[in-house]
């Protein structure tokens, strides 16, 4: 908020127009080389106080844009400070201990290996991950490989055990249909439910994460 300033205390530091109090009137004037002027050729004398001219009124759009600008800078400052203090981003963070993977390009098999000084097994190629980003890429490839491998194991188990389970289930259903005992039917149905749960639990589905990835994903 603008206020009156005594001429003896301070004068405007540029020749901008301000409100000048002279006598009982207020004039729009400016200072040049210590003298007050209303215009180029008209001086104003006996000025005792002056006041800045208020700026134009600010509408809602102006303040909304200022708020968004301030918030954007605040968010960026927080992100910059976080990266500076932690020193970690997924793409540029260097690992203190390199993570090693071994890949068999012929079979597609991927293994998480021993420290860097150990040689690769026969048929495998060593992959040295020096940054967190590289390690995450290979960790994802290892997960995909293991999921495919476990799916094949489940498929093979299902092929071998499927016929036996189907035959056993058929016999149980036959006994249920022909049983005259209410409790016997309930027992057989419970047996079928346990059998189905056991089959479901035998399907191995798991995912492997690096320590940093598990932390990010909340595991």
pLDDT in tens, 105-158: 888 888 877 777 778 778 888 888 878 788 888 888 888 888 887 777 767 766
Residue 85 within a domain: no
Name the pLDDT band for 202 (thresholds 50, 70, 90). Answer: low
Res. 196: pLDDT tops 90? no
Residue 116 shares a structural domain with residue 195: yes
Q: Kindly give, in sequence order, each residue whose CB lies less than 8 Å from that of residue 105, ignoring residues fewer than 6 positions away.
A: 125
Residue 100 shares a structural domain with residue 16: no
Pairing verdict, β 47-51 and 5-6? antiparallel
Residue 140 shares a structural domain with residue 195: yes
The count of structural domains within the chain is 2
Residue 83 within a domain: no
Residue 100 shares a structural domain with residue 207: yes
Residue 15 within a domain: yes
Name the pLDDT band for 1 (thresholds 50, 70, 90). Answer: low
Residue 43 shares a structural domain with residue 148: no
Q: What is the pLDDT of residue 158?
A: 66
Residue 158 shares a structural domain with residue 209: yes
Residue 112 shares a structural domain with residue 194: yes
Residue 59 within a domain: no
Q: Which residue has the higher pLDDT, 213 or 161?
A: 161
Q: What is the pLDDT of residue 87?
A: 52
Domain that holds residue 135: 94-216
Residue 82 within a domain: no
Res. 7: pLDDT tops 60? yes
Residue 207 shares a structural domain with residue 109: yes
Q: What is the pLDDT of residue 214?
A: 47
Residue 121 within a domain: yes
Question: Which tens digits make up the pLDDT trace of 8-65?
Answer: 999 999 989 999 999 878 999 999 988 999 988 889 989 999 998 877 666 677 777 7
Res. 183: pLDDT tops 80? no
Q: What is the pLDDT of residue 92?
A: 55
Residue 35 within a domain: yes
Token readout for 129 is 């991950």
Residue 74 within a domain: no
Residue 120 shares a structural domain with residue 175: yes
Where would I find the H helices in the chain?
A: 60-86, 132-178, 182-201, 211-216
Q: How far is CA 218 from CA 106, 212, 214, in A?
A: 35, 10, 6
Name the pLDDT band for 6 (thresholds 50, 70, 90). Answer: very high
Name the pLDDT band for 215 (thresholds 50, 70, 90). Answer: very low
Residue 193 shares a structural domain with residue 106: yes
Residue 124 shares a structural domain with residue 182: yes
């Amino acid at each position: 908020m603008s206020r009156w300033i005594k001429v003896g205390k301070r004068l405007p530091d540029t020749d901008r127009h301000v409100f000048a109090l002279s006598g009982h009137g207020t004039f729009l004037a400016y200072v040049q080389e210590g003298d007050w002027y209303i215009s180029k050729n008209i001086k104003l004398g006996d000025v005792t106080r002056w006041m800045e001219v208020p700026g134009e009124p600010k509408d809602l759009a102006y303040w909304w844009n200022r708020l968004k600008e301030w918030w954007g800078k605040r968010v960026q400052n927080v992100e910059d400070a976080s990266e500076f203090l932690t020193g970690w981003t997924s793409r540029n963070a260097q690992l203190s201990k390199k993570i090693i993977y071994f890949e068999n390009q012929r079979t597609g098999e991927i293994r998480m290996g021993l420290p860097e000084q150990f040689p690769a097994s026969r048929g495998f190629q060593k992959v040295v991950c020096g940054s967190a980003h590289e390690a995450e890429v290979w960790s994802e490839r290892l997960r995909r490989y293991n999921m495919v491998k476990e799916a094949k194991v489940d498929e093979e188990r299902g092929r071998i055990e499927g016929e036996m389970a189907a035959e056993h289930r058929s016999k149980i259903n036959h006994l249920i249909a022909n049983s005259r005992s209410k409790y016997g039917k309930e027992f057989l149905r419970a047996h079928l439910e346990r059998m189905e749960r056991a089959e479901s639990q035998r399907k191995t589905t798991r995912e492997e994460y690096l320590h940093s990835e598990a932390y990010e994903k909340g595991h």
